[in-house]
């Protein structure tokens, strides 16, 4: 019942703001962005903590993720994208390199912030901190990978640079060379490889349309975009850009946020106002 009431509130709130100005959405998404979640020291995964996590998971999460975490809950077939299958140990939202497991703090952040553009709500507004840590601990018991492998080492990108015309231009160059095949020349997610794309679970997936700010899964702040560029998105064709170095990561993230923030309201692909690689002003 708690989940139903919260989802109703969430959907009603977002739909009610459909005509709201962009700056309101930007503020709202920043509030629930992945990197904005305050994270302390993870508590020990003791028996009582795991038992609490299991109880909370069963009461709030099984409806989507299923009893054993396979993403096969009774609502799963009605959701796009489908709920995460935790048993495979593939996680998209983390601070660790591609193909490595997330840290406890990463799992806590995702539980707390939710996932924008999906049915996964932000539980930081519903569950107290202790219970969110308990859920994060319990999630690790659903995949044998956590018993066999250590979590990856977090990628550190700080300090965040200023957004300058020079960085936008350098980011555009990297985008042209590495991103157009999937995301398209203007960032609408319509590149030549975008059609009939699937994730590692066999479900249809589309490259991000950078003009739809509300669909940035981690959130729209620059730090969230940079981290997505650095880590990639495991289980999808989106690879990590870490080999290019921190400067390149920040520059391409800046070019993406510049594109989204300068998008004219209601504009569509093929419009008249573009610059450089086709980023719309």
Residues 195 and 124 reside in one and the same domain: no
Residues 85 and 57 reside in one and the same domain: yes
Residues 190 and 274 reside in one and the same domain: yes
Domain of residue 266, CATH code: 1.10.760.10
Residue 210, domain member (yes or no): yes
Residues 199 and 97 reside in one and the same domain: no
How many helices (H) and strands (E) are present in the chain, helices listed first?
Answer: 11, 2
Residues 144 and 188 reside in one and the same domain: no
Q: What tens-digit pLDDT sequence spans the chain (281 residues)? A: 444 444 444 433 333 333 333 232 233 334 579 999 999 999 998 999 999 999 999 999 999 999 999 999 999 999 989 999 999 999 999 999 999 999 999 999 999 999 998 999 999 999 999 999 999 999 999 999 999 999 999 999 989 999 999 999 999 999 999 999 999 999 999 999 999 899 988 889 999 999 888 889 999 899 999 999 999 999 999 999 999 999 999 999 999 998 877 654 544 554 323 333 332 22
CB 247 within 8 A of CB 230: no
Out of 87, 119, 148, pick the residue that ends a domain. 148
How many residues are listed for the chain in this entry? 281
Residue 240, domain member (yes or no): yes
Residues 194 and 103 reside in one and the same domain: no
Residues 52 and 116 reside in one and the same domain: yes
Alpha carbon 49 to its chain's center: 26
Residue 17, domain member (yes or no): no
Residue 15, domain member (yes or no): no
Please tell me what DSSP assigns to residue 156: -
Residue 10, domain member (yes or no): no
Residues 134 and 71 reside in one and the same domain: yes
Supply angle C-alpha 173, 178, 182, rounded to 5.
120
Domain span at 195: 165-280
Residue 92, domain member (yes or no): yes
275 pairs with which residues across the strands? 279
- Our count of domains for the chain comes to 2
State the greatest distance between any 2 C-alpha atoms of the chain, in Å, as a whole number: 61
Q: What is the pTM of this model?
A: 0.82
Residues 181 and 206 reside in one and the same domain: yes
């Amino acid at each position: 019942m708690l989940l139903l009431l919260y989802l109703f509130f969430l959907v009603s709130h977002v739909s009610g703001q459909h005509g709201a100005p962009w700056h309101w959405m930007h503020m709202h998404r920043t509030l629930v962005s992945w990197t904005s979640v305050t994270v302390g020291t993870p508590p020990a995964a003791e028996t009582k903590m795991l038992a609490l996590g299991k109880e909370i998971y069963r009461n709030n999460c099984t409806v989507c993720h299923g009893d054993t975490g396979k993403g096969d809950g009774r609502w799963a077939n009605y959701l796009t994208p489908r709920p995460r299958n935790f048993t495979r140990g593939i996680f998209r939202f983390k601070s660790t390199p591609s193909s490595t497991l997330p840290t406890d703090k990463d799992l806590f952040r995702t539980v707390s912030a939710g996932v924008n553009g999906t049915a996964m709500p932000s539980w930081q507004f519903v569950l107290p901190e202790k219970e969110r840590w308990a859920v994060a601990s319990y999630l690790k018991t659903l995949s044998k990978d956590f018993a066999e492998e250590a979590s990856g080492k977090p990628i550190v990108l700080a300090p965040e640079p200023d957004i300058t015309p020079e960085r936008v231009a350098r980011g555009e160059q990297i985008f042209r060379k590495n991103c157009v095949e999937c995301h398209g020349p203007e960032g609408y997610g319509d590149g030549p490889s975008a059609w009939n794309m699937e994730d590692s679970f066999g479900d249809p997936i589309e490259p991000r349309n950078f003009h739809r700010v509300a669909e940035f899964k981690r959130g729209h702040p620059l730090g969230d975009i940079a981290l997505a560029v650095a880590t990639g998105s495991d289980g999808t064709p989106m690879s990590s850009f870490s080999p290019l170095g921190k400067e390149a990561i920040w520059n391409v993230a800046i070019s993406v946020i510049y594109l989204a923030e300068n998008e004219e309201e209601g504009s569509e692909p093929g419009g008249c106002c573009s610059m450089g690689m086709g980023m719309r002003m």
